[in-house]
Amino acid sequence: MLAIYKKELRSSLYGMTGPVFIFVVLAVIGFFTASYHFKAGYATFEISVADGAFWSLLFAPVLTMRSFTEERRMKTDQLLYSLPITTTQIVLGKYLALITVFAVPCVIMCAYPAIIAAFSTSAPNFALAYGAILAYFLLGCTVIAIGVFISSLFESLVICAIVNLAALIALYFARSAAGSFSDSPLFTLAVFIILSALCALVVYLAVKNYVIAGTVGGILNICAVIVYLINAELYTGLGADIIGTLFIFTPVTAFAYNVFDITAFIYYITAAALFVLFTVQSVEKRRWS
């Protein structure tokens, strides 16, 4: 894994994508910091992070799109698969290298609250500010995990970048539509059925067995229907809440409202781990097809 990590880190930092990505992140967060703190006079750094999160991570697809798509295009994936390393090590090596690149601007960003404190009349809340930076870093880890997963699905760099960008935009702007989802129990049931199907798909990718995947999906569906039939009231509003949790840009904003939200950390770590797992399965599946 160390070999893959070093190679990926080297190729990201020596090429154009890594430095440009670092520059974009610092420029966007720096722009919001300058606007809110030095022009408007706010002493709360977490607002800059929350508002700049989406815009600064829009460039992430350019960083992640090459990770597997390029290997496949150049036929170098055959080398990786023939080396005495596992698919998990390949995926983790690539993923950790990209995270390291993203960690560079995050570490630099850690100086911002101190700079604001030095020039501001009211001291910033350092716990909230560094909590926001950590949440932003973990959000970036999730976005990168999604990007790496998407790169494992496509053979064209352009399509990969477009799909990744579209996914990020959808995840960001769809949260404003979250309030328009129905509160009805039937809608919640429909959400559970879709989630059951997704669970079945994940199980199938993991074990490559239709029967087991179908059984898991079926049991989850039956449970959801039974609860609905017994007490439909339990489902009121739940569907909209569940969909709301899928919008990855929401948790980081909690820090802007003076809430030190530890659940945001858990949420991002879980989401990132899930997409890394999906990537491992996706790469494995290609070898089986």
Partner 1 sequence: MIKVKNLSKKYGNVPAVKNISFNVKEGSIYGFLGPNGAGKSTTMNMICGCLAITDGTVTVNGHDIVDEAVEAKACIGYLPEIPPLYPDMTVFEYLEFVAMAKGLRGEALYDDLSYCMDKTGITDVADRLIKNLSKGFKQRVGIAQAIVGDPHVVILDEPTVGLDPLQILEIRNLIKELGEEHTVIISSHILQEIEAVCDRVIMISKGRIVADAALADLTKNETLEQAFVRLAGESIDAGVAYATEIREEKLSQKEARRGKVKIITESKKGAAYYEEIYVDEEPEEKK
Indicate which single residue of 39, 40, 75, 179 sits in contact with partner 1 (rule: CB under 8 A).
75
Nearer residue to partner 1 within complex by CB, 6 or 246: 6
Query: If we measure between CA atoms, which residue out of 265, 11, 8 comes closest to residue 140?
Result: 265
Say which residues have a Cβ less than 8 Å from residue 2's Cβ, sequence separation at least 6.
93
Helix axis angle, 126-151 to 87-109, nearest 10°: 150
Nearest distance in Å: CB 24, partner 1 = 22
Nearer residue to partner 1 within complex by CB, 4 or 163: 4
> Are the C-beta atoms of residues 273 and 144 closer than 8 Å to each other?
no
263 binds partner 1 (CB under 8 A): no
7 binds partner 1 (CB under 8 A): yes
Nearest distance in Å: CB 61, partner 1 = 20
Nearer residue to partner 1 within complex by CB, 46 or 77: 77
184 binds partner 1 (CB under 8 A): no
Burial class of residue 7 in the structure, from the number of CB atoms within 10 Å of its CB (0-12 exposed, 13-18 middle, 19+ buried) = middle
Size of the site for partner 1 (CB under 8 A): 25
Nearest distance in Å: CB 147, partner 1 = 20
- State the distance between the two ends of the chain, measured CA to CA, in whole angstroms: 25
Residue listed under structure tokens 């995050």: 106
289 binds partner 1 (CB under 8 A): yes
Kindly provide the b/e burial profile for residues 18-43, where b requires at least 16 CB atoms within 10 angstroms of the residue's own CB.
Answer: beebbebbbebbbebbeebbeeeebb
Cα–Cα distance list, 184 to 178, 190, 193, 226 (Å) = 14, 10, 15, 16
Nearest distance in Å: CB 96, partner 1 = 15
Nearest distance in Å: CB 161, partner 1 = 19
Indicate which single residue of 27, 58, 85, 159 sits in contact with partner 1 (rule: CB under 8 A).
85
Nearer residue to partner 1 within complex by CB, 139 or 283: 283
3 binds partner 1 (CB under 8 A): yes
Site string for partner 1, 26-65 (x = CB under 8 A): ----------------------------------------
Nearest distance in Å: CB 73, partner 1 = 11
Site for partner 1 in 117-156 (CB under 8 A): 155
Indicate which single residue of 20, 74, 166, 207 sits in contact with partner 1 (rule: CB under 8 A).
74
14 binds partner 1 (CB under 8 A): yes
Helix (H) or strand (E) holding 60: helix 60-64
Cα–Cα distance list, 223 to 122, 192, 199, 230, 233 (Å) = 54, 10, 14, 11, 15
Nearest distance in Å: CB 72, partner 1 = 9
Site string for partner 1, 153-182 (x = CB under 8 A): --x---------------------------
Instruction: For residue 183, give the DSSP letter.
Output: -
Helix axis angle, 126-151 to 45-57, nearest 10°: 10
Helix (H) or strand (E) holding 221: helix 210-230
Binding-site ranges for partner 1 (CB under 8 A): 2-4, 6-7, 10-11, 14-15, 74-79, 81-86, 155, 287-289
